[in-house]
Chains A and B, each alone.
Chain A
Amino acid sequence: MRIEEHPILKFKRGKKIKFKFEEKTLEGYEGETVAAALHANGIRVLGESLEKHRPRGFYCAIGNCSSCLMEVDGIPNVKTCVTKLEEGMQVNKQKGKGELK
């Protein structure tokens, strides 16, 4: 799902890093967002709606719409479309409203 050749843009990708989505270990690049890395790995369902449990993906990708909220390293309601990926991150689909600890 990555663009390798582009007529105008050259993508300066950062270091390759590993992170976990639920049980799976995936690869992404330093400097990209969690949502972009997941999408590049073919993962579009980031969570579910609160009442009807319908699948949720991102919509605006610039931190406005809150459709991309996930649990990242144990913290719920993280806007994954504007949160940068880090080595060893544990990213989980969020179910429910999340809990503040």
Chain B
Amino acid sequence: MINTDVAIVGGGPAGLCAAISAAESGAKVTLIERDGELGGQLVKQTHMFFGSEKQYASTRGIDIIDILLEKLEKNKENVTIMKNTTVLGRYEDGLITAMVDENKYLKIKPESLIVATGATEKFLGFPNNDLPGIYGAGAVQTLMNVYGVKPGDKVLMVGAGNIGLIVSYQLMQAGVKVEAIIDAAPKIGGYLVHASKIRRMGVPIYTSHTVKEAVGTDHLEKAVIWELDEKWQPIEGSEKEYDVDVMCVSVGLSPLNELLVMAGCKMQYVPELSGNVPLRNENYETTAENIFVAGDSCGVEEASSAMVEGYLTGLTAAAKIGKIHPEFEEKKADYIKQLDDLRSGPVGKHIRTGIEKIVRR
């Protein structure tokens, strides 16, 4: 059995920052990642980040990993990294079981636990939506940005949020034709600066449009879309057809947090945060004592806010078990301010509304 001060499940942006921050506070940290590499979804983010300098704005996601790994390396005497390790469960006495390399089992006993397990792709209902060639936006990014494999020749992008727009641009960088971008909402959800760039490259964006059906025998051959009226009802006769071999579904993410449910944390469905999320306090501690949460698993946002949440949670989870950073108060205030800034303005309004529903004082 492995004894540790803070166990962190998930080595993406939130988990990496939590590990750095908890280790800097003097806690012994065990960082557990099911994949063979750290970095989570940053590994495929070739675009430059928004936000401010503190969240590595203007740096590409793929380069942010190196910055974070370097910070982690500086704290290596306090950090144990376990890759290819999947957490399987948490027991009432706080014990965690995990599987290493698909064949070894082990037990970990942390004083406090940070769950930073991220999110998973949502799906869309339409006839033949299970045909091969219909892929989540993250899958398309993995294939082309991590492995250098084209997802196909011609793509219909479903979803005009930031991910849909950014992945469309990345598809064009990889030499793939994007036939059109559609979104069921009457307005483009992503930043207009991205949308304008894509339109200038000749890709039409159709708002108030959705998928009518996918066509193909053993893989996607054609996609049929149609327009929606102001009551979101399809308009007969408005169909358009595209001969595409890929449909990229970019309709959002759902928080992944089964581990918190298993641990008995009180959960609530909050649409603004994209799904079922844990109730928590301002230190990101859930209703189960010494179980903390950070990143998309407590509400889907951007990687920028996931990193700041990670730094904050690492700090508070360590402090809870007596490992208090000498600049605890200043650091905590700074992270809270950074999060407030990232969530300010009209774009962050729905996130603020969502968070108000789950934060308990």
**Chain A interface (Cβ < 8 Å from any Cβ of B):** 1-3, 5-9, 11, 13, 32-33, 36, 39-40, 44-46, 49, 54-65, 81-82, 84
Contacts and interface: CB of A to CB of B under 8 A. Distances in A.
A96 to B, nearest CB: 17
Max chain A CB contacts within 10 Å: which of B120, B143, B145? Answer: B143
A13 B139 contact: no
What are the 7 closest A-B residue pairs judged by CB atoms, nearest first?
Answer: A57-B132, A61-B139, A11-B148, A36-B147, A44-B132, A64-B120, A61-B142
15 contacts: A1-B149, A3-B144, A6-B174, A9-B46, A9-B148, A33-B147, A39-B151, A45-B218, A55-B130, A57-B131, A59-B139, A61-B138, A63-B34, A64-B120, A81-B139
Contact of B139 (A32, A46, A56, A60): A60
B179 interface: no
B322 interface: no
Contacts of B39: none
A49 to B, nearest CB: 7
B164 interface: no
A45 B219 contact: yes
B35 A82 contact: yes
Given A3-B175, A7-B173, A61 B135 contact: yes
Contact of B149 (A2, A5, A60, A65): A2
B218 A60 contact: no
Interface in B233-255: none
Given A8-B173, A84-B36, 8 more contacts: A1-B150, A5-B175, A6-B174, A9-B62, A32-B149, A40-B147, A54-B130, A61-B136
Contacts of A6: 148, 173-174
A8 B63 CA distance: 12
Contacts of A65: 120-121, 136
Contacts of B46: 8-9
Interface in B11-50: 34-36, 41, 46
A13 B132 contact: no
Interface residues of B, number: 35
The interface residues of chain A, by DSSP majority, are classed as loop
Contacts of B219: 44-45, 55, 57
Contacts of A1: 149-150
B133 interface: yes
A60 B138 contact: yes
Contact of A2 (B34, B138, B150): B150
B331 interface: no
Contacts, number: 99
B134 interface: yes
Given A3-B175, A82-B35, A40 B121 contact: no
A100 to B, nearest CB: 14
A56 B123 CA distance: 15
Given A62-B139, A64-B120, A65-B121, A3 B148 contact: yes
B121 A64 contact: yes
Nearest to B132: A57
Contacts of A82: 35
Contacts of B62: 9
Contacts of A54: 130
Nearest to B86: A63
A39 B46 CA distance: 21
Contacts of B34: 63
Contact of B135 (A7, A45, A58): A58
B139 A36 contact: no
Interface string B192-227: 000000000000000000000000001100000000
Contacts of A63: 34-35
B265 interface: no
Nearest to B120: A64
Nearest to B121: A60
B60 interface: yes
B178 interface: no
A62 B142 contact: yes
